[in-house]
Structure formats: structure tokens, C-alpha cells
């Protein structure tokens, strides 16, 4: 018998997040509907669903970003609600509003929430009204005008040029001197317009060597709001997170309380509903923190929060969207143990993290106590360049930080992936690095270059890797070797993870 929450939900996404959302929906007794592009026709999220509907096309614009197609399918199959996961249309107020107009519940925040918090300038003003400290910024500017000159006179260099919309580092430039400012404004505005359809950019004070700490919040439609503690997200490449952990090794109980209270204040000020994440920059030398932005969706790294709290955030998203009251109270929230997440990407850390394409000849995820894998791929699947190169998320839980890191290292060492290039060896190196082990890192960690960032692999290990690669690829030569975008030399190296590697 189906749950009274919804009878059928369409998951408007792909990959591991589509699988993740379907898992919870099935647990709740809700029928699931998958959608898929041509390259995804054999993907796990398609075979897992109770129904699967073809979107027709290959690119994101033709498929997972096509609002009209998605809503038309939802109507035809009788879906009462749509869950958009993260990325694609998950933070698009037009899509959320269109769902409502079609009589379909959007499982997520309101369009008004997205509009208020999706714009960095508006969200900062909202955070200030809520009493949260913010990083100083200028009004929007696409050239050196009076406002930009005044901002530079007060704060000087270096500074950041940032896009008012979007995220992921798009439209962001670090400017060190006046001569760089005008071209940085122009190029950032151009990139922002291309990526988000909004070319507005602004100047922001640059905080050197900060940590990136975010606070998960949940809010229902009845005025109840809680925070679910923090996630440390400072291990980033190109402003994209690759390793997250909770609790953060940088937070004291008092700092955790203050940041949590600030996050809740921002959410309440926005009249926020559903799951969201308030992101902060932390100056760990003096415990000062600054509001950065609020993401109006489920975060990629949500599993580590689930592991330490024993909660299902997708379930709460569904329950809140169905009008249920949030029964969790702030005093009931206490972390149990420690969790770390590593994002497994099809990319080449040796060549500026270039994406990798090919066939997953071998995909044998590890298992064991305290391990969880959120994956959207399977052995034999073709990995294309049409979408984000995230293959899976590996999560390790332990009673303390050292035990969770040991479990993660063991799991990564027992994760053979052949047929394309991945970042698994890179992740192993990072979690072995002395500064990471000590918890003494910041957002600049992966851009630094030091002798300790250049591990060597023994020749015996290389020989074994090549032997295994040669064995694994026997009989599959007709499929062609793995080729990472823009680097033909990967053709003859089906297991590049085993070679020499350093922090860039």
C-alpha cells in the first residue's frame, strides 16, 4: 500500500542523486518515475524506477533542463510531485512556479525562497537584516564605476569579482592589482551571462585562507526551523568541493552554536521552507565567520549529515512538501561519531582535472562496516561528456575522526575502477596528507605546492597496476580505450590512478 504523502513522484534528475531520491521514495511506499536522456537509457536510475520516460536528446538543455518536457511527462504519468535533486532545475524558481501552476507539488523551497536567496547580493542583504555577519561587497558593476572605486579605496587588493547569480566558481575572479580589475569585470560578466543568463557581477572583500563551513537547515511551513550542525567543505578544486566531513575539526562548541543560530536566523528571515544550506567563510585564526550564500536545495554532501544524525534528509523534504510538521527539535540534535565523504569523479588530476570519458570496464565498489556508496553508475556503462563527471560519493563513518579516515583510506584502496581515469588516488593522497590528518587545512589547500604533496608509488605497485589494467581490458579493445577530454595520451593508460601524483 502506498504512503499517504504522495502516490507517485517524478525525479527530474539523473545519476547518483536520482538513485538516492528514489531509494527514499520507495522506502516511503511512493511510486517512482525516472526520466532519461539518450546517453542515460541504460543508467541505474532508469532500471530502478517503477516507470521510466524518455526525454529524447543528449544535451542537458534538450533533456533535464527542459521544463516543458518534464511537466508534460509528470502530467501524463500522473505524478503528484517532482523532486529535482540538485543541479539542473533544482534551484530554478520558474520551474518550481510552473510545477505549482500545473497542480504538481515541487519538493523543495518556494519560488520566492529561490528568488530571494539565489541572488548573492539580495541574499547578503537578507542575511544582514537577520543579524548574520557578511563579507563586504559592492553594488553590481560591470566596469570601474564610482561604486567600484569607492569599494577599492576602502578595502584595497586583493579582492574578488563574483557573479550575482549561480555558483560553482563561474564568474569569479581573484584580482590582485588595479590593472587587472577592468578585464576581470568584463570576463566575469561575460562568463556569468553565458552560464546563468545574468551578467551582473560585484566586488567582494577577499578573505585569505578561510575555511568553508556550511550549516544544514530544515524548516516546515508552520514556522519550525532547526539546524542540523555543520559540514566542513574546505577541500576544493576550482571552487568545487571534493572532500567533506562532519563535525568540522575547526569548530569549538561555542562557534558551532553561534554559526547554527546565524543559519537559523537567515532561514527564518527568508521565511524558508524545506531543506537548505547556509554557507559561511570562517577565519579560523580569530573565529570570525561571514555569511557567503544559501543554497536552496539538497547538497551533494548531505549523506555525512545523515550518517552522524541518523536522519533521512530526502524523507524530510518529502514530508515537509506534503505539509507535515517538523517534529525534530534543536535540543534533540547531537552528532554521533564522525563522517567523511569523497567524491569519485571521472577526471584526470594529472591534467588539470580534465574530464574523462569511456566505458566502465571494471567498477567494483568497496563494502564493509561504516561504509556507504551513493552511486549512479554501473559496470559496463558508457560515461560521456554531456554531464557532470561525478560518478559516486563514498562515505565512511566511524566513532571518531581517525577511525572514519582509516575506513575511508581502506575503502579507496579497495576500489578498482578501470576503463577511464578517476581521482581515487588523488583522494587517497589528500586524506593521507599531514595537514589534512591534523585538520589544519583551508580552501587554498589544493592549490598549494609542497614536497609533501608529491607522493611516489613504488615500481612494484605500478607494475601490478599495469598488469591488472591489461588483464581487465582483454577482449574489450573494440570499445576503444579511455580518453580524457583534451589529452590523447590517456589512450594507452587505462589505469592512470596508479601513477605519480601531487597536489597541484
Bridge partners of 293, per DSSP, are 279
CATH of the domain at 44: 3.40.50.20
- Whether the CA torsion 147, 150, 155, 158 is positive or negative: it is positive
Please tell me what DSSP assigns to residue 495: T
pTM of the model: 0.87
CATH of the domain at 168: 3.30.1490.20
Interhelix angle 120-129/253-269, rounded to 10 degrees, is 110
The answer to whether residue 440 is domain-embedded is: yes
Which pLDDT band holds residue 468 (cuts at 50, 70, 90)? low
Clarify whether residues 234 and 276 are in a common domain. Answer: yes
Clarify whether residues 90 and 147 are in a common domain. Answer: no
Please tell me what DSSP assigns to residue 487: B
Whole-angstrom distance, CA of residue 255 vs CA of residue 247? 12
- Phi first, then psi: what are they for 308, rounded to 5°? -85, -15
Clarify whether residues 190 and 328 are in a common domain. Answer: no
Clarify whether residues 365 and 490 are in a common domain. Answer: yes
CATH of the domain at 318: 3.30.470.20
Q: What is the pLDDT of residue 132?
A: 97
Query: Cell numbers of 418, please?
Result: 578501470
Clarify whether residues 289 and 371 are in a common domain. Answer: no
Clarify whether residues 366 and 488 are in a common domain. Answer: yes
Clarify whether residues 435 and 484 are in a common domain. Answer: yes
Which of 306, 333, 360 is a domain's end point?
A: 333
Clarify whether residues 325 and 413 are in a common domain. Answer: no
Which of 205, 225, 250 is a domain's end point?
A: 205
Output the CA–CA distances (angstroms, integers) from residue 146 to 122, 152, 176, 192, in the order listed. Answer: 21, 10, 19, 22
Tell whether the model's pLDDT for residue 330 goes beyond 60: yes
Of residues 242, 418, 245, the one with CA closest to residue 345 = 242
Query: Cell numbers of 280, please?
Result: 559561511
Tell whether the model's pLDDT for residue 217 goes beyond 50: yes
* 261-294: pLDDT as tens digits: 999 999 999 999 999 999 999 997 788 999 999 9
Which of 152, 172, 205 is a domain's end point?
A: 205
161 touches 188 (CB < 8 A): yes
Q: What is the pLDDT of residue 4?
A: 76
Average pLDDT over residues 153-164: 95
Helical ranges in 328-473 per DSSP H: 401-413, 424-432, 434-438, 459-472
Domains of the chain: total? 4
Question: Domain residues for 471?
Answer: 337-504
Which pLDDT band holds residue 163 (cuts at 50, 70, 90)? very high
* 472-487: pLDDT as tens digits: 444 443 333 333 333 3
Q: How many CA atoms lie within 13 A of 206 on its CB side?
A: 17
Average pLDDT over residues 312-317: 98
The answer to whether residue 360 is domain-embedded is: yes
The answer to whether residue 124 is domain-embedded is: no
Which pLDDT band holds residue 459 (cuts at 50, 70, 90)? very low
The answer to whether residue 191 is domain-embedded is: yes
18 touches 376 (CB < 8 A): yes
Clarify whether residues 418 and 347 are in a common domain. Answer: yes
The answer to whether residue 126 is domain-embedded is: no
Least confident among 89-93, 119-123, 327-331: 119-123
* 225-254: pLDDT as tens digits: 999 999 999 999 888 999 999 999 999 999
The answer to whether residue 23 is domain-embedded is: yes
Tell whether the model's pLDDT for residue 224 goes beyond 80: yes
* 13-53: pLDDT as tens digits: 999 999 999 999 999 999 999 999 999 999 999 999 999 99
Clarify whether residues 33 and 101 are in a common domain. Answer: yes
Tell whether the model's pLDDT for residue 159 goes beyond 90: yes
Compute the CA torsion angle 437, 440, 444, 450 (nearest 10 deg): -60
Q: Radius of gyration over alpha carbons of the chain, in Å?
A: 23
DSSP assignment of 250-268: T--HHHHHHHHHHHHHHHH
Place of cell 562548541: 253
Whole-angstrom distance, CA of residue 155 vs CA of residue 175? 12
Average pLDDT over residues 412-421: 96
The answer to whether residue 129 is domain-embedded is: no
The answer to whether residue 113 is domain-embedded is: no
Whole-angstrom distance, CA of residue 160 vs CA of residue 140? 13
Clarify whether residues 316 and 347 are in a common domain. Answer: no
Clarify whether residues 382 and 474 are in a common domain. Answer: yes
Average pLDDT over residues 379-391: 94
Amino acid at each position: 500500500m502506498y504512503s499517504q504523502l504522495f502516490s507517485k513522484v517524478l525525479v527530474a534528475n539523473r545519476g547518483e542523486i536520482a538513485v538516492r531520491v528514489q531509494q527514499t521514495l520507495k522506502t516511503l511506499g511512493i511510486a517512482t518515475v525516472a526520466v532519461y536522456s539518450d546517453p542515460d537509457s541504460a543508467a541505474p536510475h532508469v532500471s530502478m524506477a517503477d516507470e521510466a520516460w524518455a526525454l529524447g536528446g543528449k544535451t542537458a538543455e534538450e533533456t533535464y533542463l527542459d521544463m516543458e518536457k518534464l511537466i508534460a511527462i509528470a502530467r501524463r504519468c500522473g505524478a503528484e510531485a517532482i523532486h529535482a535533486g540538485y543541479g539542473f532545475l533544482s534551484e530554478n524558481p520558474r520551474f518550481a512556479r510552473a510545477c505549482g501552476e500545473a497542480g504538481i507539488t515541487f519538493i523543495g523551497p518556494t519560488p520566492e525562497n529561490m528568488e530571494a536567496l539565489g541572488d548573492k547580493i539580495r541574499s547578503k542583504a537578507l542575511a544582514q537584516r537577520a543579524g548574520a555577519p557578511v563579507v563586504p561587497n559592492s553594488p553590481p558593476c560591470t566596469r570601474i564605476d564610482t561604486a567600484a572605486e569607492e569599494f577599492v579605496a576602502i578595502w584595497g587588493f586583493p579582492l574578488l569579482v563574483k557573479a550575482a547569480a549561480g555558483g560553482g566558481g563561474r564568474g569569479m575572479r581573484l584580482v590582485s592589482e588595479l590593472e587587472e580589475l577592468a578585464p576581470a569585470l568584463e570576463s566575469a560578466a561575460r562568463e556569468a551571462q553565458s552560464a546563468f543568463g545574468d551578467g551582473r557581477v560585484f566586488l567582494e572583500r577577499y578573505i585569505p585562507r578561510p575555511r568553508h563551513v556550511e550549516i544544514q537547515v530544515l524548516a516546515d511551513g508552520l514556522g519550525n526551523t532547526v539546524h542540523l550542525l555543520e559540514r566542513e567543505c574546505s577541500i576544493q578544486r576550482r571552487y568545487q568541493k571534493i572532500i567533506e566531513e562532519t563535525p568540522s575539526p575547526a569548530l569549538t562548541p561555542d562557534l558551532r552554536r553561534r554559526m547554527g543560530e546565524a543559519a537559523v536566523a537567515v532561514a527564518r528571515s527568508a521565511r524558508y521552507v524545506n531543506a537548505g544550506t547556509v554557507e559561511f567563510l570562517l577565519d579560523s585564526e580569530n573565529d570570525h565567520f561571514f555569511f557567503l550564500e544559501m543554497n536552496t536545495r539538497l547538497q551533494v554532501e548531505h549523506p555525512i549529515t545523515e550518517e552522524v544524525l541518523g536522519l533521512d534528509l530526502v524523507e524530510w523534504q518529502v514530508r515537509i512538501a506534503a505539509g507535515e510538521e517538523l517534529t525534530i527539535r534543536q535540543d534533540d540534535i547531537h552528532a554521533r561519531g564522525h563522517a567523511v565523504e569523497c567524491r569519485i569523479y571521472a577526471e584526470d588530476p594529472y591534467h588539470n582535472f580534465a574530464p574523462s570519458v569511456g566505458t566502465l570496464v571494471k567498477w567494483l565498489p568497496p563494502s564493509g562496516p561504516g561504509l556507504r556508496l551513493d552511486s549512479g553508475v554501473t559496470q559496463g556503462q558508457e560515461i560521456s561528456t554531456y554531464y557532470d563527471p561525478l560518478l559516486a560519493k563514498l562515505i565512511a563513518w566511524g566513532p571518531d575522526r581517525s577511525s572514519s579516515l582509516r575506513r575511508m583510506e581502506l575503502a579507496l584502496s579497495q576500489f578498482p575502477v578501470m576503463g577511464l581515469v578517476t581521482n581515487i588516488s588523488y583522494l587517497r593522497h589528500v586524506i593521507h596528507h599531514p595537514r589534512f590528518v591534523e585538520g589544519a587545512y583551508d580552501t587554498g589547500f589544493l592549490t598549494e605546492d609542497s614536497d609533501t604533496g608529491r607522493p611516489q608509488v613504488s615500481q612494484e605497485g605500478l607494475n601490478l597496476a599495469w598488469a591488472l589494467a591489461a588483464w581487465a581490458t582483454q577482449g574489450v579493445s573494440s570499445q576503444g580505450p579511455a580518453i580524457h577530454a583534451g589529452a590523447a595520451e590517456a589512450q594507452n593508460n587505462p589505469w592512470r590512478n596508479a601513477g605519480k601524483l601531487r597536489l597541484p
